[in-house]
Chains A and B, each alone.
Chain A
């Protein structure tokens, strides 16, 4: 009997991470804490690029609608939830994270986990895109919770002084807003503690990411997309330090023993953009069967700025203004070329996400530039990260096949 099980295990092309169990536990706990915070009227919804360390340091609980969007996508109910938003008048052309979020607030009983717990405030930072403000304004209309926008205008090159000053004033107003809304205070001591925890987690996480420079890569795309959840939504807590240490240990052990995330690594590619949550395993494991692994991607490499230094707020201003999506096309191209070089990649796959204009527009240019500068081929496939109605399998298959044929 055991022999049969052994053989069965052997047949799987992709290797499950042991730390996944711990990951699930943490995310579950996180969800419970969110509900509790909401009941205690101490919950804010936050965008993924928001300087979350500040509300955390002020004792505010946080929930992540974007992460909820990923859940909606992977539970394959994107079309339904987006549909609820469309029924109340939101165009199908809008961001599917926003639509599914608005849809879940509209009809929580028809939504996974009954939607996110009710917020008392909505905190948006537009360093990831301009849509978040309008999305959160819509949710504010639905829930009555006030919105605070931290405005980080997009930067070209070096962050100018007047920009730093402007964002700094925004941080001051944020602290003020949180103070008034939640009757909370921010102490230097607490801020340092939270920043230190956040930095620690980020350092551990980026070490795991960097380990993928090895051949075979210890992590594949899907692994990283799942494993990044805590560092996105629970930065600043000590709960996640353990997880990232465990993950790093497992990753380093794989590297030591030359164990790859996929069994038969033949081709190493870069992935660009948010993944198709509704098909994430099918898609990446399908490619794994053909020996294709993704040691790096632009999405998980966005979470690498740690708050450090004497002036923490200066650090916050700098890190959160200079995120990948806030820097323009040139910087994106630079980053992609850097990843291709550092991680020794053979090519790249760009996902043109229909409902994400910030990330996707410009790909037609960056595709050309990346190939020009690195010499490796790439291909663009079209779809959406949550709305599975927009995913042309046949077209995707053809394009990927064409790319892979270039490596024969």
Chain B
């Protein structure tokens, strides 16, 4: 299978490219709102005529957090804080923090508000409850979104425009649809598009969600669709996508794995690009071993359901956020584990790489449950302790390589 002809960018190259896009956008006079948590309502920000950009932890950030955060704060927020205090953040019109997700992020907002009083910051508080039947979580989040919208309007003098909202729905919706297809296609044939490329595209869009980038992704997706059709896989890919979205895995077409082993990588707010980079950096290994990620900035962002047409915009967004793939910051461990277990057999998975961000409560509580579930199905796992600086990279590589070696003797 032929990969798209193009220069393979290094990790630094990808980071630089998306940073450059953002800088250009700012130069062109666009106002950008940064956000941290993956399930942020992008449509809402766009509806206010602002551009949402995902702020990420980056490698190579010198310290600086020590003045405000202890070392047992999660490594992700320490990194974000250090970027800010070292003036390494782009000049944003505002920054959205999440509330009620984890204690590190909860404290980060308060600390930020004190240390950087001139920054325009907002907090969107999420409900943790899921699976209730009284509609109270939708109501709560709908109001929170409304309040956020009012706060943005007040602080930045930008009203909510329905026309922008409709356009945003279409732009973001298409991105998700295309990303979902690419995920589905890779589950069948991981070589049709490298995981590195998939990450690069997603990263580019989430950094600067512009129609031009959306179009590039659309074009690549169309070409992948063509290939799938040519190989006679179109129906199978569709059945896989249906299963991923409906959580019913009983109707997937049978398929013969093209490449083995087939690995899933799990984790929370871990950078997919970093994972791709570490894997491809190991001699003799390609990222075709990675058939699926279940990461917050990867799968869980892509498989956020489209906005329904009924209800106010805020209700629409609330419903979409609340039916996204579950996170360890929420209720529903049983459901998340069940979903994972269904994937194992239906998608013929050989192993799971479990990422644990340093001092990340959600990751570290979830990991043993994932291990247990995998072990029940006779599937091997490996734990990958990780931080944004990739400070223990050598050991990461050894773990991954040893893991793959232990799978390679069939």
Instruction: List the interface of chain A (C-beta within 8 A of B).
Output: 88-91, 93-95, 98, 126, 129-131, 133-135, 137-138, 140-141, 147, 149, 151, 153-154, 156, 160, 162-163, 165-166, 169-170, 172-173, 328-330, 352, 354-355, 357-358, 360-365, 369, 382
Contact = CB atoms under 8 A, between A and B. Distances in A.
A361 B103 contact: yes
Nearest to B127: A151
B128 interface: yes
B174 interface: no
Contacts of A354: 70, 72
Nearest to B330: A133
Contacts of A360: 70, 72
B139 A365 contact: no
B364 A94 contact: yes
Contact of B100 (A153, A362, A364): A153
B365 A364 contact: no
A8 to B, nearest CB: 43
Contacts of B139: 162, 165-166
A363 B99 CA distance: 19
Interface of B: 67-70, 72-74, 99-104, 106-108, 110-111, 113-115, 123, 125-129, 132, 134, 136-137, 139-140, 143-144, 147, 328-329, 331, 333-334, 356, 358-359, 361-362, 364-369, 371-372, 383
B372 A173 contact: no
14 contacts: A90-B364, A91-B367, A126-B100, A133-B331, A134-B361, A140-B333, A153-B125, A166-B140, A173-B132, A357-B102, A357-B107, A361-B70, A363-B70, A364-B67
Contacts of A166: 127, 136-137, 139-140
Given A140-B333, A170-B136, A361-B73, A130 B361 contact: yes
Given A165-B136, A355-B72, A330 B110 contact: yes
B385 to A, nearest CB: 8
7 nearest interchain CB pairs?
A89-B368, A329-B110, A169-B136, A134-B365, A361-B107, A162-B143, A357-B103
A163 to B, nearest CB: 7
A133 B99 CA distance: 15
A189 to B, nearest CB: 26
Nearest to B328: A134
Nearest to A328: B110
A361 B65 CA distance: 12
Given A90-B368, A91-B356, A364-B67, A154 B134 contact: no
Contacts of B70: 352, 354, 360-361, 363-364, 382
Please indicate which of the listed interface residues A93, A163, A361 has the most CB atoms of chain B within 10 Å of its own CB.
A361
B110 A131 contact: no
Contacts of A131: 103, 361, 365
Contacts of B126: 153
B159 to A, nearest CB: 22
B111 A362 contact: yes
B110 A153 contact: no
Contacts of B359: 93, 357
Nearest to B125: A153
Given A126-B128, A129-B103, A149-B128, A365 B114 contact: yes
A408 B147 CA distance: 52
A231 B322 CA distance: 37
Contacts of A126: 100, 128
A149 B130 CA distance: 10
A350 B371 CA distance: 37
B365 A137 contact: yes
Please indicate which of the listed interface residues A90, A129, A147, A357 has the most CB atoms of chain B within 10 Å of its own CB.
A357
A197 to B, nearest CB: 29
A87 B74 CA distance: 22
